[in-house]
Amino acid sequence: MKKISLFFCVLAAVALVSGTTPGTVQAKKLSLNYANFPPAPTFPCVQMERWKEQIEKRTDGAVAINTFPGGTLLDAKDMMDGVINGQADIGCICMAYQPGRFTVTNATSLPLDIPDAKTGSLVLLDLYNKYQPKAFDKVKVLTMFVTAPANIMSKAPVAELSDLKGLDLRASGGAAQILKAWGANQVGMPMSDTPEALQKGVVKGLFSSLEVMKDLKFAEICKYITITDTVIYPFAVIMNKSVWDNLPGHVKQVMDSMIEEQAAWTGEYMDQHVSDSIAWSKKEHQVEVIRLSPEKKAEWNAKLAPITENWIKTAEEKGLPGEQIVKDIKTLVVKRTAK
Ligand code: DTR
């Protein structure tokens, strides 16, 4: 009898302290806000949902990730500083939108023949790990990935360099120089502003990876694709530094263990999705795919040679080992393609 009443006393004390009955006592759930700039169906947001799902599962529900696609929390241009300032805990940035800020990692968006998104994503991560660029000093990197190589999507067919002359094409960041080198009239804006610009006729096409033909329904407007497979765009997912510092050890471990896995997953998803998007665009919207002959491709590529040379010069002026970075990317592409 005495034993039983002691048990109930302890039970009552626990209930009093926790404000509930024992057995329903729960550790406080950690809630993190994740901002993304493009619309929900696009690949940066698809990878965000996959990461959220995996983190919530692998931390046994100790962490909840609230996702904000479509620039509802932070838009493309405010993403990096917004995360540094704590407006969002996590954010997804397209580094190519700020070529001068992410010099080292943006070297992956030079015309260096990165063959696909999976290889590119792993090369980018290797490059980041090797150089630990200062641009990321104020954040924790949760993953990095790249797009599939960029191609031309246009309202009118583009088969010759002369078709590009003065043509208003949207491209952002480093790819701007490529369109200029080919003689097009490059119009810069983030992907999130492109659907409206295409609809209003502000631009006559764009230069990007082809999954957007399906995800943003550009196939309804752009009836032609010209395959150039020129450059990729690098992305990073970053976390506010003090939020990271205050995470419990086991949560940090789960997030760290997903850095490379998420890069590879996103690269694979992107590569597959580009194939699906081309097939869908042909079938549903009778989009025509124009392929350049090897001679023409060589002629187009020759125009791009000075871009890498100029980048090396600018990087070295900033005190960065530009030549070595380009060499590293080429070596890493071979290493990561072989795997
Ligand atoms: N190529 C870059 C990045 C990019 C490619 N697909 C998407 C989808 C949504 C946002 C960005 C991107 C660009 O053209 O902006």
Backbone angles phi and psi of 108, in degrees to 5: -70, -15
Residue 24 pLDDT more than 90? no
Q: 208 CB less than 6 Å from ligand 1?
A: yes
Q: Which of 283, 323, 272 is nearest to 46 (CA)?
A: 272
Residue 22 pLDDT more than 80? no
Ligand 1 atom having least distance to the Cα of 43: 8
Residue 281 pLDDT more than 50? yes
Residue 195 lies in a domain: yes
DSSP 8-class letter at 287:
P
Q: 98 CB less than 6 Å from ligand 1?
A: no
Model pLDDT, residue 327 = 98
DSSP 8-class letter at 293:
-
Q: Which of 118, 180, 177 is nearest to 308 (CA)?
A: 177
Q: Which residue has the higher pLDDT, 195 or 1?
A: 195
The mean pLDDT value of the chain amounts to 92
Q: In this structure, are residues 225 and 289 in contact, taking their beta carbons and an 8 Å threshold?
A: yes
CATH value at residue 191:
3.40.190.10
pLDDT-derived band at 15, boundaries 50, 70, 90 = very low
Task: Encode pLDDT of 314-339 as tens digits.
Answer: 999 999 999 999 999 999 999 999 76
Residue whose Cα lies nearest atom 3 of ligand 1: it is 233
Ligand 1 atom having least distance to the Cα of 37: 10
Q: 191 CB less than 6 Å from ligand 1?
A: yes
Residue 329 lies in a domain: no
Task: Encode pLDDT of 141-167 as tens digits.
Answer: 999 999 999 999 999 999 999 999 999
Residue 2 pLDDT more than 60? no
Ligand 1, from 212, 232, 274: best to mutate by most atoms within 8 Å of Cβ?
Answer: 212
Q: 69 CB less than 6 Å from ligand 1?
A: no
Task: Encode pLDDT of 165-177 as tens digits.
Answer: 999 999 988 888 9
Residue 5 pLDDT more than 70? no
Q: How is residue 309 written in tokens?
A: 């040379």
Q: Tell me what the mean pLDDT of segment 282-302 comes to.
A: 97
Torsion of CA 164, 303, 331, 108, to 10 degrees: -50
Ligand 1, from 187, 208, 235, 237: best to mutate by most atoms within 8 Å of Cβ?
Answer: 208
Ligand 1, from 45, 172, 233, 237: best to mutate by most atoms within 8 Å of Cβ?
Answer: 233
What b/e string do you get for 223-235 counting C-beta neighbours within 10 Å, with b at 16 or more?
bbbbebbbbbbbb
Range of the domain at 297: 151-231+282-307
Q: How far is the CA of 229 from the centre of ligand 1 (A)?
A: 15
Q: Tell me what the mean pLDDT of segment 74-84 comes to.
A: 97
Q: How far is the CA of 120 from the centre of ligand 1 (A)?
A: 15
Q: How far is the CA of 90 from the centre of ligand 1 (A)?
A: 19
Model pLDDT, residue 8 = 41
Residue 203 lies in a domain: yes
DSSP 8-class letter at 124:
H
Ligand 1 atom having least distance to the Cα of 235: 3
Residue 12 pLDDT more than 60? no
Residue 108 lies in a domain: no
Pairing, β 234-240 against β 168-170: unpaired
Task: Encode pLDDT of 212-236 as tens digits.
Answer: 999 999 999 999 999 999 999 999 9
Which of 19-28, 93-102, 129-138 has the lowest average pLDDT?
Answer: 19-28
pLDDT-derived band at 13, boundaries 50, 70, 90 = very low
Three-state DSSP at 30 gives strand
Whether pTM > 0.85 for this model: the answer is yes
Pairing, β 139-146 against β 185-187: unpaired
Q: Tell me what the mean pLDDT of segment 12-35 comes to.
A: 59
Task: Encode pLDDT of 192-212 as tens digits.
Answer: 999 999 999 999 999 999 999
Give bridge partners of residue 291 from the DSSP assignment: 227
Residue 89 lies in a domain: no
Q: Which of 211, 213, 206 is nearest to 269 (CA)?
A: 211
**Angle at alpha carbon of residue 338, lines to 151 and 259, rounded to 5°:** 75
Residue 143 lies in a domain: no
Q: Tell me what the mean pLDDT of segment 272-280 comes to.
A: 98
Q: How is residue 61 written in tokens?
A: 């529900």
Ligand 1 atom having least distance to the Cα of 39: 9
Looking at the structure of the chain, the number of domains it has is 1
Q: In this structure, are residues 215 and 43 in contact, taking their beta carbons and an 8 Å threshold?
A: yes
Model pLDDT, residue 96 = 87
pLDDT-derived band at 27, boundaries 50, 70, 90 = low
Residue 165 lies in a domain: yes
